[in-house]
C-alpha cells in the first residue's frame, strides 16, 4: 500500500466516523438502519486496513470485504425503497413488481458472469453487481418522482450519493478493463478521491439540522388516509 492509498483510507475512515456520529446525534440513524450497518462495516474495514496494512491489504481480504459491502448496498437500496412507499399501497404494489423484475434480471446477469471471480478479473464481474444496485436506486427514484412521494432530506442524499458513486465506479472499472492494469495508478487516485468526496459529503449531510416541516398539512392527511386504507385492507 502506498502512502497516498493509506491517506485515502484514513480520510474515508474519518469521514465515516464523523457520519456515524452525526447520524446518532441528529437521530437520523433510524431512517435507514441498513446504511448504519454498511457504515459500521466500512469503518471496521478502514480501521483494520489503516492499522495493519501488511495483513489486510491482500486480495482475499478485499474480496471478503467487497462481498459484504455489495450485499449491504443492496439492502440500503431496498430499505429506502420500502420506506418511500410503505404508506402508499398503489405505489408500493407497482414498486414491488418493478423491484422483482430488476432483481430477477440482475440475478440472471450476475449468474451469467465469470464463474471464477478473482481480483485480476475485477472489471468483468464487479460492474454487473454495481449496475444491479444502481437499477434498484433508479427504480426507487423514479417511483418517488412519478408518485410525488414525500421523502426525507437524508433519504434523498443517500440515493444521490450512492447512485453517483456506483456509476462512477462502474465507469472506472470499465476503463480498467479496456486499458488494463497499466492505468491502475490513475484508477486508484480517481477512485480514492471519489470515495473521500462521497464520505465527507455524507458526513456534512448527516450533521445538517433535520428539516422539521417537510410535509404540508394536506400531504400529512393524504399519508394518514393511505395508511388507514392499507391497515383496513390488510
Phi, psi at residue 212, to the nearest 5°? -90, -30
DSSP the chain: --HHHHHHHHHHHHHHHHHHHHHHHTT-GGG-HHHHHHHHHHHHHHHHHHH-HHHH-SHHHHHHHHHHHHHHHHHHHHHHHHHHHTT-HHHHHHHHHHHHHHHHHHHHHHHTS-SS--GGGHHHHHHHHHHHHHHHHHHHHHHHHHHT----HHHHHHHHHHHHHHHHHHHHHHHHHHH-GGGHHHHHHHHHHHHHHHHHHHHHHHHSPPPS--S-HHHHHHHHHHHHHHHHH-
| pLDDT value for 88 | 80
pLDDT tens track of the chain, all 234 residues?
Answer: 788 889 999 999 999 999 999 999 999 999 999 999 999 999 999 999 988 988 888 888 888 888 899 889 989 988 998 888 887 877 788 888 888 888 888 778 766 666 566 655 666 677 778 888 888 888 888 888 887 888 888 998 999 999 999 899 888 888 887 887 788 888 889 999 999 999 999 999 999 987 654 555 565 566 566 556 655 555
Can you read off the three cell numbers belonging to residue 233?
A: 385492507
| pLDDT value for 138 | 86
Measured CA to CA, the distance from residue 91 to residue 84 in angstroms comes to 9
227 CB-near residues (< 8 Å, 6+ apart): 87
| pLDDT value for 36 | 96
| pLDDT value for 120 | 59
| pLDDT value for 168 | 92
| pLDDT value for 9 | 93
| pLDDT value for 195 | 94
| pLDDT value for 47 | 93
| pTM confidence score | 0.82
Q: How many CB atoms lie within 10 A of CB 168?
A: 17
| pLDDT value for 220 | 56
| pLDDT value for 200 | 96
Max CA-CA distance within the chain?
A: 61
Can you read off the three cell numbers belonging to residue 194?
A: 471519489
| pLDDT value for 225 | 64
| pLDDT value for 150 | 80
| pLDDT value for 213 | 47
Amino acid at each position: 500500500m502506498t502512502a497516498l492509498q493509506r491517506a485515502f483510507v484514513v480520510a474515508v475512515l474519518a469521514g465515516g466516523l464523523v457520519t456515524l456520529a452525526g447520524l446518532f446525534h441528529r437521530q437520523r440513524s433510524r431512517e435507514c438502519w441498513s446504511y448504519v450497518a454498511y457504515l459500521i462495516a466500512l469503518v471496521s474495514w478502514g480501521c483494520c486496513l489503516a492499522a495493519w496494512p501488511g495483513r489486510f491489504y491482500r486480495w482475499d481480504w478485499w474480496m471478503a470485504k467487497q462481498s459484504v459491502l455489495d450485499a449491504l448496498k443492496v439492502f440500503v437500496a431496498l430499505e429506502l425503497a420500502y420506506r418511500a412507499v410503505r404508506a402508499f399501497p398503489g405505489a408500493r404494489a407497482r414498486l414491488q413488481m418493478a423491484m422483482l423484475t430488476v432483481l430477477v434480471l440482475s440475478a440472471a446477469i450476475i449468474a451469467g458472469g465469470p464463474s471464477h471471480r478473482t481480483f485480476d478479473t475485477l472489471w468483468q464481474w464487479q460492474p454487473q453487481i454495481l449496475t444491479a444496485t444502481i437499477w434498484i436506486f433508479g427504480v426507487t427514484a423514479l417511483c418517488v418522482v412519478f408518485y410525488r412521494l414525500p421523502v426525507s432530506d437524508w433519504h434523498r442524499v443517500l440515493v444521490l450519493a450512492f447512485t453517483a458513486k456506483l456509476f462512477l465506479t462502474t465507469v472506472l472499472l470499465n476503463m480498467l478493463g479496456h486499458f488494463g492494469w497499466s492505468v491502475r495508478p490513475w484508477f486508484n487516485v480517481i477512485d480514492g478521491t471519489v470515495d473521500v468526496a462521497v464520505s465527507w459529503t455524507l458526513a456534512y449531510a448527516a450533521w445538517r439540522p433535520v428539516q422539521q416541516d417537510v410535509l404540508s398539512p394536506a400531504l400529512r392527511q393524504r399519508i394518514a388516509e393511505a395508511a388507514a386504507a392499507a391497515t383496513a385492507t390488510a
